Amino acid sequence: MSEEKNPTMVRKRLLLLVTPSTYRAEAFCAAAEKLDVEVVRGLDLPPELAAQWGVPLAVSFADPDEATQAIVAYAKDHPLDAIIAVDDSATLVAAQVGAALGLAHNPPEAAEAARDKGIMRRLMDEAGVPCPVFRHFSLADDPDKIAQYVEYPCVVKPLRLSGSRGVIRADDPAEFTQAFNRLKRILLGDGYQPKSTNILVEDFIPGVEVALEGLLTNGVMRTLTIFDKPDPLDGPFFEETIYTTPSRLPEATQRAISETAAAAASSIGLRDGPVHAELRVNDRGPWMLEIAGRSIGGLCSTILEFGAGMSLEELILRNALRMETPSADLATQAAGVMMIPIPKRGMLHAVSGVKEAQATPHVEGVEISVKPHTEIVPLPEGASYLGFIFAHTETPAEAEATLRAAHAHLRFDIRPVLPILR
- pLDDT tens per residue, range 285-331: 999 999 999 999 888 899 998 877 899 999 999 999 999 887 777 77
State the span(s) of the chain assigned CATH 3.90.1170.50: 334-422
Question: Which of 293, 116, 124, 112 is CA-nearest to residue 198?
Answer: 116
Q: How far apart are CA 122 and CA 338, in angstroms?
A: 33
pTM: 0.92
The model's confidence at residue 162, banded by pLDDT at 50, 70 and 90, is confident
pLDDT in tens, 322-376: 998 877 777 778 999 999 999 999 999 999 999 999 999 999 999 999 999 999 9
CA 50 to chain centre: 26
> Is residue 64 classed exposed, middle or buried when 0-12, 13-18 and 19+ CB atoms within 10 A define those classes?
buried
For 15: left if phi > 0, alpha if psi spans -120 to 50, otherwise beta; the answer is beta
Following DSSP, what letter does each residue of 270-338 receive, concatenated? Answer: --SEEEEEEEEEETTEEEEEEEESS---TTGGGG--BTTTB-HHHHHHHHHTT---S--PBPSSEEEEE
Q: What Å distances lie between residue 373 and 32, 387, 416, CA to CA?
A: 35, 15, 11
Domain spanning 334-422: which CATH class is it, in words? alpha beta
State the span(s) of the chain assigned CATH 3.40.50.20: 13-113
Sequence-distant (6+) residues with CB within 8 A of 353 are 409, 410, 411
Question: Which of 409, 388, 406 is CA-nearest to residue 398?
Answer: 406
CATH topology of domain 133-203: Dna Ligase; domain 1 (3.30.1490)
Q: Are strands 38-44 and 13-18 parallel, antiparallel or unpaired?
A: parallel
User: 13-113 — its CATH code?
Assistant: 3.40.50.20
